[in-house]
Structure 1
């Protein structure tokens, strides 16, 4: 080979080596940050009696298989002196409303609202939450999804966390059940994303909307702060209404954060590959602020940090191996902190990132074609 031929190859090798080393270093920093975050993560206090009126708000649509278990657990809550439960049925096509009505007939704490679907300009879940919150009379509002099962002291501890921290909104993240291979591959990325990548205590203090994480599965907010922020009317068209609500609270001068809800509730968000695919496809396009370039940048960054090192390791790179192990360590630490399955699932972290990239691309493709759907409704 001539000197002319060797020069481009040497330059290419240098670029590759630099990318691998920098990616591995970045993965190591993420692992260290994950350890720090899990130690500083807000955790609920021990159970104690709650004297204020607590309103549990349950938006449902076609949840006949889940709503009974969820509502039974809510009504079995301990430590609450004054509880009301408002269920807004969003025009279910199954037996959801009838099941709730049967439970409400035997417990005066439960109120069933029968809705006819969202008006123009609203998405279904924000509208259902808005309608339920409009009727609420509690000083603390707790939004719960139908696929969540609360521990007996879960509500009391969530409200105590809200009051003890002095925050306006807390989102105790439930323990996630992941059963099938697809669920185990993708679901742990949710809690990993904020524990590994978001500086939680800084995000709690910062008014910046970009430093926000929340989960609508279990979300506790001060009623006055909720109304100052405009409530769900302020996020009526948002697919990721939970994060958007926290941003609205911040714009109104409040503070909030995602917290450890591992002991408070359990949640199986999706059951099986098809439901998981459609669930993420409906919303991942919005995770980058609705900008394709931002979504591509996010996926590219994750690929550089957690996929490139393992590719290099397969070619014999020690730096690549170190980067791969750092990514695995980050996932392992997250799993241990959230009562998830640590091993061997953490070893598949690069595959999880690849799956996330595919789901993000699918989400944008469906949005481009106008084929986004959820709960038998078209999403704009």
Structure 2
């Protein structure tokens, strides 16, 4: 049992150490306003977003310290999304409503909408945001300024994640835990290797010429998760990418129901952890570092197990506080990890043509995406 306890302690120590280093690296990242002459095209793909689109567009229009245009691609909405954007555009010439052409074979919906948004954008930088993201007034300027200052051609950030229901607390906290606890930020900034490429699809700024040269969304047309794929694509073409702290740049409430959160994370899983080789490794790392220490505490309260559980909770607390997440996420941390693994294994076991994945009510067979 002592050997098992020491293994669990090592697995818990890994994300604890990496999170401490990563938060230090990110905390020392200076963000500067954009240079004169910068135009940021804020690009919002929208499909049935009547509940979200007005605050999303109004937040984008409140941007300061940089010129912006706001383009909304209405992708076959059957609610009032287009009417809402049209009413805002009638009062502010910076807003344009576009209608997505019919989905082309071989493309996924959001990727298709983002590609066509880019074709209409006039900015020096493209800032892709989801309709449930609320930009801060400084976000567009600071993201563009960081790109100009560092030479990064793609800069992304994880918005502050708003979580109010148990279903949200059991799913969404894994985003920041995985990024901060398992991605070495120092190596990411020192290397162009595509394996270190990471981005959050909710909030991504790209320099126009690099976007065009890399192929942009057209080069990843069959994928669902543009955050991971675009970061790797840029690096493959020799363009540096970066992540910056996002909790003060934007906020996002992704889901309000557990079923929506489950399905939302499941749609991206086969492009992330849910692979035959990767998922067993991730299961060992996450189960051993964040679940088994708590399961063993009542039956084997030896010091390595106690320390492993303590380190796991400390990591969760450190990440939650730094990213301004709901502190209740700390209390349900082991359950959150278990839920994440259940989603990933559920998707993996359906690979082989069974099951569906998609975006905003549009479905594709799992085998149709890479």
Tell me how far 1:359 sits from its aligned partner: 1.1
Calculate the TM-score normalised by the size of structure 1.
0.90
Query: Structure 2 CA distance, aligned partners of 1:76 and 1:49?
Result: 18
1:294 is matched with 278
Stretches of structure 2 lacking an aligned partner (at least 5 in a row):
366-370
| In 2, Cα distance between equivalents of 1:242 and 1:363 | 19
| 1:1-380 alignment, distance < 5 Å | 16-41=1-26, 43=29, 45=31, 47=33, 50-80=36-66, 82-288=67-273, 291-315=275-299, 316-342=301-327, 344-368=328-352, 369-380=354-365
Q: Distance in 2 between matches of 1:345 and 1:105?
A: 42
Aligned CA distance change for structure 1 residues 357 and 134 (closer, same or farther; 3 Å): same
Residue 116 of structure 1, CA deviation? 3.6
Is the 1:56–1:144 contact (alpha carbons within 8 Å) kept by the matching residues of 2? yes
The CA deviation string for residues 205-252 of structure 1, in whole angstroms up to 9 with x for no partner, is 323222222111111111111111111001111111111001110011
1:137, 1:296 → 2: CA distance? Answer: 45
1:94 match: secondary structure: coil
Task: Give the structure with higher Rg (CA).
Answer: 1
Aligned-residue offset at 1:47: 4.9
Are residues 273 and 179 of structure 1, via their aligned partners in 2, closer, same or farther at CA, if it must alter by over 3 Å?
same
Q: Distance in 1 between matches of 2:192 and 2:99?
A: 37
Change (3 A) 1:195 1:225: same
CA distance in 1, matches of 2:151, 2:75: 33
Of 293-302 and 346-355, deviating more is 293-302
Q: CA deviation at 1:174?
A: 0.9
CA distance in 2, matches of 1:327, 1:232: 37
CA distance in 2, matches of 1:362, 1:30: 25
CA distance in 1, matches of 2:75, 2:189: 32
Which range moves more in the overlay, 87-96 or 49-58? 49-58
The 10-residue stretch of structure 1 (131-140 or 302-311) with the greater mean CA deviation from structure 2: 302-311
CA deviations on 1:287-327 (whole Å, 9 max, x unpaired) are 13x63332233123211222122222221232111101111
Structure 2 SS opposite 1:26: helix
Give 1:46 deviation, angstroms: 5.3
SS state at 1:237 partner: coil
Q: Distance in 2 between matches of 1:34 and 1:294?
A: 21
Structure 1: 5+ residue runs without aligned partners?
Answer: 1-15
TM-score (norm 2): 0.93
Alpha-carbon offset, residue 50 of structure 1: 4.6
Supply the distance in 2 between the matched residues of 1:69 and 1:58 (Cα, whole angstroms). 12
Distance 1:27 1:112, change over 3 A: same
Rounded to whole Å, the distance in 1 between the matches of 2:364 and 2:345 is 17
* Cα contact 2:161–2:325 (8 A) shared by 1: yes
* Count of residue pairs the alignment pairs up: 362
**Separation in 1 of the partners of 2:311 and 2:24?**
18
**8 Å contact from structure 1 (residues 176, 268) kept in 2:** yes
CA contact (8 A) 1:59 1:128 kept: yes
SS of match in other structure, 2:119: helix
Contact 2:153 2:210 (8 Å CA) reproduced: yes
